[in-house]
Amino acid sequence: MKSAYVPVMRRRRESKTNYRRRKAMVLSRLPFLSVFISGKNVFVQILSPRKEGDVSLASAHSRELIKFGWLGSRKSIPATYLTGLLAGLKAKGKVDKVILYTGLRRFIPNSRITAVVKGLLDAGILVPINQDTLPSEDRLKGKHIADYAKYLLERDKVAYKAKFSNLISKALNPDALPGHFEQVRNKIVEGFEVKKA
């Protein structure tokens, strides 16, 4: 009598790899974009699949934004966009087109992952994606955060100070986040233009 046991591949058992998506990604023969969002940071990699293991072509970590003067959260939509922009500028010249690989995560429109994709697109890397799924320019700048800060300041100052204590401690008014975002984005782009010249 045969056993009813069906073997499950190790990385699937460990909830690390969706082999159906992985196979489709490998068959495309294109480099792929991998996004890891932790409790405080975002890590973006552009990888090329190889038989012996994936090879990193370019990567960016949200901690690198500190060098460009970023004072906000390093896992927010504005920070994930800037990290994607940084990764895209680093990959420029190495790759022209990448595909998004989400692994076991679901694809969610207007999310932090799509903000990373928008950053890559703005850096000049082609990523096949429906433009309707990308966050709006206001959302990328953090206008929704600034609006929420204004709302909270009017309603509950204690909650406002608790929620935005990190920004307040760095002497950045949450209302000024969209302007701060523009400054940092310009510094990142200018930094890479100087390296080219």
Predicted local distance difference test score (pLDDT) of residue 196: 67
Q: Token pair for residue 86?
A: 């940084």
Under 8 Å CB-to-CB from 150, ≥6 apart: which residues?
A: 175
Distance CA 121, CA 167 (A): 28
Least confident of 99-108, 124-133, 175-184: 99-108
Q: Domain 18-196, what architecture?
A: 2-Layer Sandwich (3.30)
Predicted local distance difference test score (pLDDT) of residue 20: 83
Please tell me the pTM assigned to this model: 0.90
pLDDT digits (tens, 9 = 90+) for 132-174: 999 999 999 999 999 999 999 999 999 999 999 999 999 999 9
Domain extent listing, the chain: 18-196
Residues 78-99, mean pLDDT to the nearest whole number: 96
pLDDT tier, 1 (very low <50, low <70, confident <90, very high otherwise): low
Predicted local distance difference test score (pLDDT) of residue 15: 78
Give yes or no for residue 197 having a pLDDT over 70. Answer: no
Q: Tell me which H or E stretch contains 153.
A: helix 143-155
